[in-house]
Each structure stands twice: as C-alpha cells, then as structure tokens.
Amino acid sequence: MSLDAPVSTVAAWLAEAGRVVALTGAGISTDSGIPDFRGPRGVWTRDPGAARMFTLDAYVGDPEVRRAAWRNRRAHAAWTAEPNAGHAALVEIERAGRLHAIVTQNIDGLHQKAGSSPDRVIEIHGTLFAVECLGCADRTPMSEALDRVAAGEEDPPCTRCGGILKAATISFGQPLDAATLRRAAEATTAADVLLAVGTSLTVHPAAGLVEYAARAGARVVIVNAAPTPYDGIADAVLRRPIGEVLPVLAGAARR
C-alpha cells in the first residue's frame, strides 16, 4: 500500500490493464450537481426526515410519504444534470478497450448519458429512470409516471393492478437484485485494476466488492476525497479531485 501514491504510478497500471472495473459512488456525480446523501452537505445530513422517503415500510404504509417522494422525483437533479469529466474519462477508458464494467451505486443514469455502454453499467442500487410496481412487478419508464404526476395524480397507481408504484431504486429495507449483485461480483473478481471512485465504501455490498477484487488479485485504486475503511488494503489511494485524476488515468489508458 502507498498512501497518495503518485498518479503517474496508477497511470502506468492503467496503461497495461486489460480489464479495468470502476466502482462509482455519489462522489463522481457531485460535480454534475447531484447531491450526495451522506456527505457534509448531503440530503440526509441536512434533513434526516427525508430518509423516510427512501424507507420501504414508510413508503408502503404512508400515502403522504409517497406523495412527497413523487414531488421529490419530479424535482430530481438527474433530469437536467450533465455528465462531467469523471464520467467522460470512464467512456475514454472503454473506448481504449480496457473497461470491463462500471459497477455503480448511483441511480442518476449519468454514465450512460456520458456514453458508457449500457450493457457495461451495473446499477446495484437500481435506476431512477424506471418505475416498478410493488404489486405485480410491472416495469415502466419513469417519464410516463412523472407525466401522470404532472397531470395531477399525486401518487399514481399501477395501471395494470392498481398497486403502489415506486422508482426502480433500492430503498432501505428492500433487498438488492440478486442477478445484478452476481454480475457485479463477477465483474469485480475479473478485474485487474479496480478503480473505486467517489464512494465512501461504507455501504455493502459495494464495500465488499473491493475485498473480492483485492482477493482475486486486482490492483485496488481508491479515488475519494475522504478516507475509506478500505484504504489499508488499497494499492493506491488518490485524494485528488475526481475530475482531475480520472482524465489523467484515461489518457494513460489510451496509450
């Protein structure tokens, strides 16, 4: 392990990597204006009550929580956010033929909007761009539900079964999708370089994926503003702004 290893050392690893896997968290999207949940200016830090909207029991049991959640979804920064230099750098690494997968905790769709291949983006916490019925599991575009909200339905029910609709994101108290998790685990164990970017690595399963990768022999690189519980097993920890570091690494990958 080398704390704050020079970016050039990591760049050299990227230049010879065959399978780079990125594990991304909220920190890669804050430059795009998507607020972090747990950071000092995060949504839950400023308004602990907001967490109720993201708790399955409260959502199912309280219509007012659902109405608030739909207002929140309509106003979400993701609809107008643009990808930033960090997202673009991962697209470059893919175009250089070195990106195996992006495992993301983000629900904002910015990797795909930046140009990353959708089939390489594994969204372990789901996506804001789809809606799922909690009754019949019917999956529909978020835009359709938001149109109904805009037309006056404060809590639009499923058009097939009348059940409760929810964004296709993972709420507190809701299990993660097993198939998605399996893909994430397979991708990380296949990595020869794991880039953990903008994630505090405090939430499982994302945190555990770092261990998988390390055990499988990947070089683990952590790019995050604050210390993480996995800094000790990382081969390099870069505490530099993501928008500065990733473009440099992408440049090395192109060589």
What are the catalytic residues? 125
Q: Is residue 138 a contact point for Zn ion (CB under 5 A)? A: yes
* Residue 133 CB, nearest approach to Zn ion (Å): 3
Residue 188 phi, psi (nearest 5)? -70, -35
Q: Which is nearer to Zn ion, 157 or 243 (CB)?
A: 157
Q: Which is nearer to Zn ion, 158 or 242 (CB)?
A: 158
Quick count: other Cβ atoms within 10 Å of Cβ 236?
22
Q: Which is nearer to Zn ion, 98 or 166 (CB)?
A: 166
* Residue 249 CB, nearest approach to Zn ion (Å): 44
Nearest residue to 84 via CA among 36, 31, 123, 25: 31
d(CA 255, CA 125): 33
Q: Which is nearer to Zn ion, 162 or 229 (CB)?
A: 162
Q: In 3-state terms, what secondary structure has residue 230?
A: coil
Taking CB under 5 A as the criterion, which residues in 149-168 touch Zn ion?
Answer: 158, 160-161, 163
Nearest residue to 195 via CA among 80, 104, 65, 96: 104
Tokens of 179: 């198939």
Tokens of 189: 């164990």
* Residue 158 CB, nearest approach to Zn ion (Å): 3
- The count of residues interacting with Zn ion (CB under 5 A) is 8
Per CB under 5 A, residues contacting Zn ion are 133, 135-136, 138, 158, 160-161, 163
